[in-house]
Amino acid sequence: MQKFSFNRRLVIIIVCLIVSFALMTVSVAIRNKKSTPPLIQQFGNDIVGLTDRVVALPANGLNGSVSAISELLNTYQENQQLKKQVSELAQTKVRDQTLAKENKQLKQQIKLNDSLTDYTAISAAVITRTPSSWQNQVVINKGSSAGVVKNMPVMSGSGLVGRVAEVNKTNSKVELITDNNDAANRFAVSITTKAGKTVNGVLSGYKSATGQIVMDNLTTKSKISKGDKVVTSGLGGVTPKGLFVGTVAQSVGSDYGLSTKLYITPATDLSDLNIVTVAVTKQ
Amino acid sequence: MYRLSKMRFGFPIGLFLLLFIDGSISQVFSRQMFNAPSVMVSHLVVLWLVCGVLFEENMAMPLVKWAAVIGAVFDLYYTGIFGVYIFVFPLVVYLTRQLVSYISPNFLSGLLIYFIDITIVEALSFVASRAVHMTSMSGSSFLVNTLGPTLAFNLAMFVILYFPIRWVYNWLK
């Protein structure tokens, strides 16, 4: 009798393991290939998301008020610095407007409707964050009903923070650049060097020890120096051109000495996200 | 009797509430908790389930079922990878029940049991994530950077919340 019950337990454990791996494999495959999860999962996520908003609202509100108080302390200094910047900004803005207008006229002349730089922005609030150490993932409160599509790039503040990994009706999951899984942070980017050359490449990972984005396998002869700006190149997919990723922190030879490896300082603080922007391309 | 007590509704409500609070804590304190490379993961849901076993006495609550339900919600809503926590949470409840049958539950033995539970939750989810290539973290850096801080955080939460949760369970009974 003892032996029988032991065998039964073993069978249960093995069946559970097999079912678990099967479910995991299926859901990873769906996540990588399909544009939306199965309808049941979407429906469930929408309901859970709605309930979560009720809980998350006071928590995020509390967070906002606490940070408001701490920010009040260094407001004066910040104000002084910002005043200087504002006067410069007004000039840049006017110039930007003129250039945008000119750009539009020129595009009309050559009958070019949408180029790689065109995108519209959907702003969304972060509801919650996945309590897990390997999935740096946040849930935002806009979904397919607001026009969010899988793989769209997500920005916060001045720079790129991640991509949309899963879309439900009213919420979606955003995988941050800091996530180191196989598909998280492969953005096509380009760097304009000080000499004016453009270097294209793909982001390849994140180094959590220093908080830097890694870009490997660059086979270029042009010299990339510290402080060069990295922006998305708009090649190959739904990412528009010209989203700011960060600045080059270090350029070293790769592990085998054949190519160049870059470390990039992200443009925004990736650990503190409250409001994000989803960039929607018109293609 | 489970069927006639407030526990029947109170337990699931607390379970879902703590599930959402887990996410909210991670979001609000993301700067402190996900301060790379060391990462603290909040597991208040596990705390609620383990406390369910510790304070169950002779009530016979359907803890394994609820653990599976909350594991499924966790998988779908938080991680998007179905099939990990739906098995890990019931396993933890089962294991805690086994341990409680050997050690009589009190504050200190509860702390010990919770230590084992958190280790199992983290280790199994690490193995699962490695298996489906959700992470490329090495085993040693998992021990140092994730398991250590996570245990510290969750044991601190156990110490802080043990008596409040016991009060809640007694009120629900």
What are the tens digits of pLDDT across the range B50-81?
998 988 877 788 889 999 999 999 988 888 88
What are the tens digits of pLDDT across the range A211-265?
888 888 888 778 888 888 898 888 877 788 888 888 999 888 877 777 888 899 9
Looking at residue B70, its pLDDT comes to 93
Instruction: Please give the Cα distance from B36 to B53 (Å, whole number).
Output: 34
pLDDT band, residue B155 (cuts 50/70/90): very high
What are the tens digits of pLDDT across the range A44-88?
888 888 888 888 888 777 777 777 777 777 788 888 888 888 888
Domain count, chain B: 1
Among B27, B127, B145, B154, most A C-beta atoms within 10 A, so best to mutate, is B27
What are the tens digits of pLDDT across the range B112-136?
999 999 999 999 999 988 888 777 7
Contact A41 B17 (CB under 8 A): no
Contact A16 B42 (CB under 8 A): no
Is the Cα dihedral B127, B131, B135, B140 positive or negative? Answer: positive
Is residue B1 domain-resident? no
Dihedral angle computed from the Cα positions of residues A268, B37, B130 and B78, in that order, rounded to the nearest 10 degrees = -50
- Strands of the sheet with A188-192, listed across from one edge: A198-202, A188-192, A229-232, A244-253, A260-266, A212-218, A205-207
Looking at residue A50, its pLDDT comes to 86
Per-residue pLDDT averaged across B143-157, rounded?
A: 92
Is residue B2 domain-resident? no
Contacts of A128 in chain B (CB under 8 A): 20, 23-24, 26-27, 78
Looking at residue A282, its pLDDT comes to 67
Is residue B150 domain-resident? yes
Mean pLDDT, chain B, integer: 88
Asked if B20 contacts A261 with a C-beta cutoff of 8 angstroms, the reply is no
Contact B79 A208 (CB under 8 A): no
Looking at residue A149, its pLDDT comes to 87
Closest chain B CA to residue A60: B28
Instruction: Please give the Cα distance from B48 to B10 (Å, whole number).
Output: 12
What are the tens digits of pLDDT across the range A139-161?
998 888 888 888 888 988 778 88
Contact A23 B82 (CB under 8 A): yes
Looking at residue A4, its pLDDT comes to 58
B142, with CB counted inside 10 A (0-12, 13-18, 19+), is buried
CA distance B60 to chain A (A): 21
| pLDDT above 90: residue B154 | yes
Looking at residue B161, its pLDDT comes to 92
Per-range mean pLDDT, top range of A18-27, A106-115, A269-278 = A18-27
CA distance B122 to chain A (A): 9
Domain boundaries, chain A: 2-66, 74-113, 119-283
Instruction: Please give the Cα distance from B83 to A16 (Å, whole number).
Output: 10
Domain A119-283 has CATH 2.40.10.340: yes
Instruction: Please give the Cα distance from B90 to B41 (Å, whole number).
Output: 19
Range of the domain at B11: 7-172
Contact B27 A138 (CB under 8 A): yes
